Amino acid sequence: MVIFALYAVLLVGLGLWDARHARSPEAYFVNNRASGAWQVGLSITASCVGGSATIGMAGLAWQIGTPAFWWLGSGACGLLLLTFALARKVRASGALTLPELIGQRLGRQARTLASLIIVLAWSAILAAQFTAMGQLTASLTGLDPALALPAGAALIVLYALLGGQASVIRSDVPQFLLLFGGLCLTLGWLFVHNPHPMFSVEVEALNEGFGPSKFIYFFIIIGGSYVVCPMLFGRVLSARDERTARRGGLIGAGWLVVTAVVIVLVGLGCRSLLPAGSTPDSVLTAVQGLLPPWIGMALMVSLLSAVLSSADSCLITAATVLCHDLLHTERLPVCRGVTLALGGLGYLLATRGHGILDLLLMANDVYVCGVVLPVFWGLMLPMTRHIPHRTATAAMLAGGAGGLASALLGLPEAGYMGLFASLVCLAPTAFACRDARQPAM
């Protein structure tokens, strides 16, 4: 309880401090575009290494071995593509959000459609993070789960609401350090007490448990979600300048790779410590009970930091898009009210179980298949060309339909077909000469 209380006081204090300076839309949405390269990079890493990545990736490594690296490794590749191909253009745009940038290049209809999908998808991801936060809060405080969930959710909403993007980025740096430190302490203990699984495992990119089809899915769907991501674009747009944005992306990609290696080694080190019937998602929580108390507590704080750093990013991303791109307002009281409302929605979804949440998480598949390719295509085109409004909307709908079919049927091939259909819609624009006028936003 003491550790959770200290953590809460620190975060709320940070939110109150940043609230004194968050008096403009740029301050609330993009940290006054004042973030340094290390702030951008570590914030990207902290936001990407959430509870699902940490717990899920360690469990996957325990189950299938070193190919689990591609959970974050594919994301690092996508982030590198964002860094080298798009970061300078994104930062130079002067936009506040990804959908605003979509409006500049693809038109008003595409901006609205993408905004709706983003708000739905990121609200669902927020709800999933709230669920994990409730479980960790209960473990740290001893509170009943029915009280731990609202306590954890309230902490996330409160400091994000007060300071906006500034609080999120500032808190991401210490949260990542706590996350990485806890994992390294756990790895150190495992290395001393159970080194054999780490040294005896064969280093593989693919194996029977992770074949070519899964590798393709990770690279296209998961990696693609890093190339055009409203959360990551928010970090790029918060950078001081274009050079800082690019350096921040490189730092983030490097730390994603390092963190992925550490998590995989932790998962491997848990082999032979747990019974064969253990479920992959329970690996880290099960091994926590075998660690010395102070290392076990460090691991719990590490997981708490992972969840917090992802949840606050999801919340501020959804709130920013809803305010700026759907409600078309930049009044800070309204933005804070929207942040509170979305936090309440995320909490309600978390309490409803997985029925509604699974439906809304389909929006993430729709986003990746429907939004990523048209936006990447539009940003890569020379400024003398742009995608016609109807073509952009058709490409989004075609890709999104494939993503929805993939989620409903459990067939990744449907998502690939959607991406191909989107590509067919977009291909003629690569050769059609147009003037440099921007489409209406």
For the stretch 82-113, pLDDT in tens is 999 999 999 999 899 999 999 988 989 999 99
Q: What is the pLDDT of residues 247-269, one digit of tens each?
A: 999 999 999 999 999 999 999 99
- The mean pLDDT of the chain is 87
Position 414 scores a pLDDT of: 93
Position 437 scores a pLDDT of: 46
Q: What is the pLDDT of residues 43-76, one digit of tens each?
A: 999 999 987 788 889 999 999 999 999 999 999 9
* Distance between start and end Cα atoms, the chain: 49
Q: pLDDT category, 245, cuts 50, 70, 90?
A: very high
Q: Which residue has the higher pLDDT, 276 or 274?
A: 274
CA torsion 237-243-247-249 (nearest 10°) is 30
- The yes-or-no verdict on residue 241 having pLDDT over 70 is yes
Lowest mean pLDDT segment, chosen from 2-11, 39-48, 177-186, 350-359: 350-359
Tokens of 410: 């459990």
When pLDDT is averaged across residues 108-133 and rounded to a whole number, the result is 88
When pLDDT is averaged across residues 175-186 and rounded to a whole number, the result is 93
Position 232 scores a pLDDT of: 94
Nearest residue to 369 via CA among 218, 224, 231: 224
Burial of 260 (C-beta count, 10 Å sphere; 0-12/13-18/19+): buried
Burial of 437 (C-beta count, 10 Å sphere; 0-12/13-18/19+): exposed
- Number of other CB atoms surrounding residue 436 within 10 Å: 9
Q: What is the pLDDT of residues 366-393, one digit of tens each?
A: 899 999 999 999 998 887 777 888 999 9
Position 18 scores a pLDDT of: 65
Longest dimension (CA), the chain: 66
pTM of the predicted protein model: 0.90
d(CA 251, CA 229): 17
